[in-house]
Amino acid sequence: MTTSFFQNPGTQITLKLALIFFLVIFLLIPKFMILDLIDERQKLSESVINEVSTGWGAEQIHTGPALIIPYYHFVPNVDKTKPIVKTKTNLILMPESLHIDGSVTTESKYRSLYKVLLYKSGMKINGSFKVPDDKITNIKQEDLLLDEAFLIMGIKDPKGINNKIDIQWNNQQLTLHPGMENISFNINPQVSTGQSTEVGYYGGQHISGFKTGLHTKTPVDLNNKEYTFSYQLDIKGSKGLMFAPLGKSTEVHLKSAFTDPVFTGGFLPEHKTDANGFDARWKILEYNKSLPSFQKDNDIIDLGDNVFGVKIRHLIDNYAKSYRAGKYMILFIILTFLVVFLTEIVERIRIHIFQYTLIGFALAIFFTLLLSISEFYGFDAAYFGAAIATIGLIFLYSLGMFRNRKSSVILMVLLCSLFGYIYLIIQLEKTALLAGSVGLFVIIAATMYVTRRIKWFEESASNNSFVE
């Protein structure tokens, strides 16, 4: 007896696979909706972090001190019949040496559902200045306005300053005051995650950076060629603590119980990081950086990409992990559909495409459960809770689809393995790609082994069809 084209088992299987394929494509819609939801919640979390940081202290950049000596600069007049123009400008001297020794402690604050990581740091800072010879600066000694000399130090967010700062200057105690007397710092925007403001217009370009910090009048005598300084700085902040290598030789030592630091910027330290925290040391010589030892006729100190330091924040938070899990949603769906489809073929039962759709939606709901629960109980608890609920739901539903309990138990075991496998990949960083590739290879190999004896074009004895 001949069968029609649509009664042919091979045709029925092909049509079922085509329907499943279009269903998988359709389920890309909830996938991208879920990823957009995760991104929206993450942005809301970032806005809360920024709001808390505004009151506590943002990402900090501390430059150390610079010595400013005003002087008279003589410029020839375009009209040579008129006298030379005398202008007042600044000579900016960088430290001969700069040493920073500090410790960082972290604490968490909560705003609604969101956890914000903040820090406090205490630093002892010392170093020295040398006034360069006039042959190097090309400034005559009589043109220097030594009685107007002052010291400045850049601090990006002064609201984080947590102590009264008195600087010891050659055994004299000087009190620092807010402001930097129109001196500002230019930074490469890629160095800092914090907001930078426009500080001026120079060389035909708008300059971004900051012009916040402290200053004090400083006695300078050319008979004394070297000046030492020291001060204590206690500062609060968030996201990161950065420094600028102003010194001809700059050394920074930081230690903390924070176990997940990210060292960033123009220079990386020698460091030890373990379960007890981190201990990092930077040593930067004048040959390593692009900052000069002094500059003239320009009140903007260009730090460029020389800024360095440590990021202090949770880099892989619940939202980042949920987003990574969401990217595997289609893999969840395809492998689950594969198991259901093979069970349908082996047991010669008929499963409607609507039942596949319900299973696909159940897997999609897993990711919304994961996101919502993780905001309260963290990613790990949310993952296992949502996985247990989803696997249980699909298992109970499969009891009505399959002919025997054994097939439902096999589906449940495979789902548990799949959820565990994806969880492992999410936790890995360096070997995530390797683990994913090996896992997919094993899955394909197992599928080929299981299906090697299936007679795809052999009609069943009961003449069952595969598509409704």
Same domain, 325 and 293: no
445, part of any domain: yes
Section 392-416 average pLDDT: 86
Section 69-86 average pLDDT: 75
| pLDDT band with cut points at 50, 70 and 90 for residue 318 | confident
Compare 442 and 461 and report the one with higher pLDDT.
442
Query: What secondary structure letter does DSSP report for 144?
Result: B
In sequence order, what are the residues at sequence separation of 6 or more whose Cβ sits closer than 8 angstroms to the Cβ of residue 46?
none
- Dist CA 53 CA 48 (whole Å): 8
Structure confidence at residue 244 (pLDDT): 93
- Dist CA 53 CA 159 (whole Å): 10
List C-alpha distances in Å: 277 to 43, 304, 379.
Answer: 29, 30, 23
Q: Which two tokens stand for residue 137?
A: 């600066």
| pLDDT band with cut points at 50, 70 and 90 for residue 9 | low
55, part of any domain: no
The domain total for the chain is: 2
186, part of any domain: yes
Q: Would you call 36 exposed, middle or buried from its count of C-beta atoms within 10 A (0-12, 13-18, 19+)?
A: exposed
pLDDT at 145 exceeding the cut of 70? yes
Structure confidence at residue 464 (pLDDT): 44
- Dist CA 208 CA 186 (whole Å): 6
206, part of any domain: yes
Section 207-224 average pLDDT: 84
First to last CA, the chain: 22
Q: Which amino acid is at 293?
A: S
Same domain, 302 and 336: no
List, for residues 242-298, the tens digit of each pLDDT value. Answer: 999 999 999 999 999 998 899 998 899 999 999 899 999 999 998 888 888 899 888
Structure confidence at residue 430 (pLDDT): 64
CA 328 vs. chain centroid, Å, equals: 22
* CB-based contact 84:98 (threshold 8 Å): no
Q: Which two tokens stand for residue 158?
A: 């002064």
Residue bearing tokens 């980042």: 320
Helices (H), 27-168: 28-56, 134-137
In sequence order, what are the residues at sequence separation of 6 or more whose Cβ sits closer than 8 angstroms to the Cβ of residue 283?
249, 250, 251
Same domain, 327 and 392: yes
Same domain, 262 and 352: no
User: How many other CB atoms are there within 10 angstroms of residue 21's CB atom?
Assistant: 12
Edge-first strand order for the sheet with 184-187 is 197-202, 205-210, 184-187, 300-304
Structure confidence at residue 122 (pLDDT): 94
In sequence order, what are the residues at sequence separation of 6 or more whose Cβ sits closer than 8 angstroms to the Cβ of residue 142?
none
Structure confidence at residue 242 (pLDDT): 93
List, for residues 43-57, the tens digit of each pLDDT value. Answer: 888 888 788 878 888
460, part of any domain: no
Average pLDDT, the chain: 83
Q: Which two tokens stand for residue 65?
A: 């001190």
Domain termination residue (choose one: 283, 312, 341): 312
Judged by average pLDDT, the poorest of 75-79, 215-219, 243-247 is: 75-79
Its pTM stands at 0.72
User: How many other CB atoms are there within 10 angstroms of residue 400's CB atom?
Assistant: 8
Structure confidence at residue 23 (pLDDT): 86
Same domain, 78 and 149: yes
| pLDDT band with cut points at 50, 70 and 90 for residue 468 | very low
Structure confidence at residue 307 (pLDDT): 92
457, part of any domain: no
| pLDDT band with cut points at 50, 70 and 90 for residue 319 | confident
Residue 213 belongs to domain spanning: 60-312
CA 156 vs. chain centroid, Å, equals: 20
Structure confidence at residue 96 (pLDDT): 94
- Dist CA 435 CA 426 (whole Å): 10
462, part of any domain: no
Same domain, 274 and 258: yes
Same domain, 307 and 322: no
Structure confidence at residue 78 (pLDDT): 65
Section 399-406 average pLDDT: 82
Among 304, 155, 138, smallest CA distance to 231 is for 155
Structure confidence at residue 427 (pLDDT): 77
Quote the percentage of the chain above a pLDDT of 70.
Answer: 87
Q: Which two tokens stand for residue 347?
A: 């047991």
Same domain, 339 and 232: no
Structure confidence at residue 202 (pLDDT): 40
Section 217-227 average pLDDT: 86
48, part of any domain: no
- Dist CA 126 CA 128 (whole Å): 7
- Dist CA 21 CA 24 (whole Å): 5
| pLDDT band with cut points at 50, 70 and 90 for residue 316 | low
pLDDT at 232 exceeding the cut of 90? yes
Section 80-91 average pLDDT: 77
pLDDT at 2 exceeding the cut of 60? no
pLDDT at 3 exceeding the cut of 70? no
Same domain, 65 and 138: yes
pLDDT at 438 exceeding the cut of 70? yes
Same domain, 414 and 430: yes
Same domain, 372 and 225: no
Domain termination residue (choose one: 277, 312, 347): 312
Same domain, 147 and 31: no
Judged by average pLDDT, the poorest of 7-21, 32-46, 60-74 is: 7-21
Domain termination residue (choose one: 289, 312, 335): 312
List, for residues 333-361, the tens digit of each pLDDT value. Answer: 888 888 888 877 777 778 888 888 998 89
Judged by average pLDDT, the poorest of 208-217, 275-284, 451-460 is: 451-460
Section 442-466 average pLDDT: 64
Section 164-178 average pLDDT: 91
List, for residues 33-46, the tens digit of each pLDDT value. Answer: 988 988 888 888 88
Compare 285 and 458 and report the one with higher pLDDT.
285
In sequence order, what are the residues at sequence separation of 6 or more whose Cβ sits closer than 8 angstroms to the Cβ of residue 260?
314, 315
